Amino acid sequence: MEAKETYLKGCFVISPKVFNDKRGYFFESFNKEKFESLAGISIDFVQDNQSLSSKGVLRGLHFQTGEFEQAKLVRTVKGSILDVCVDLRKNSKTFGQYFSIILDDKNHQQLFIPRGFAHGFLSLENNTIINYKCDNYYNKNAEKGIVYNDKTLNIDWNIDNSKVILSDKDKELPDFDTFFS
């Protein structure tokens, strides 16, 4: 396993060592001791979530607030996504900046997103399955979000807005300036 920190402090791209042979492949998707040693972060995941999405489905940008903030470790089980996280830590040098990466079922990379970040992803293929670990339980009252096409964040989703498939809830999310004013 390799952990490489992105330009957003505390946010890591995790690359597993994949063993391929004529039967298929094997890799260790998570090892607490290795992760903590490589990233220098102590983590206790308490909840796993999985979703299935069609091509063009965009979920996000979501986050939990207060005592219910969540760190996440995101991986693609099948298909591919453009995974995006936004630094919402007001005292951070990278507040309001985003990081994006394509996660797919070929390179098996994962993205570790620390607490204090918004997260979203765009499914690049039909029947894409993602799985993510959380270090805190979901709380509906702490759930917040920022609209995916916010002009201040200016995230390059690399898709025409007319082709994006959103939930009704995600269509109603506030923009970044409204949320942080």
Single pTM value for the model: 0.95
Can you name the CATH fold of 2-179? Jelly Rolls (2.60.120)
What pLDDT digit, counting tens, does each position of 124-150 carry? Answer: 999 999 999 999 999 999 999 999 999
| 132 included as an active-site residue | yes
Residue keyed to tokens 């992105």: 6
All structural domains of the chain with their residue ranges: 2-179
Burial level of 66, CB count in 10 A (0-12/13-18/19+)? exposed
pLDDT tens readout for residues 88-128: 999 999 999 999 999 999 999 999 999 999 999 999 999 99
**Catalytic annotation, pick one of 98, 132, 138, 148:** 132
User: Catalytic site residue 62?
Assistant: yes
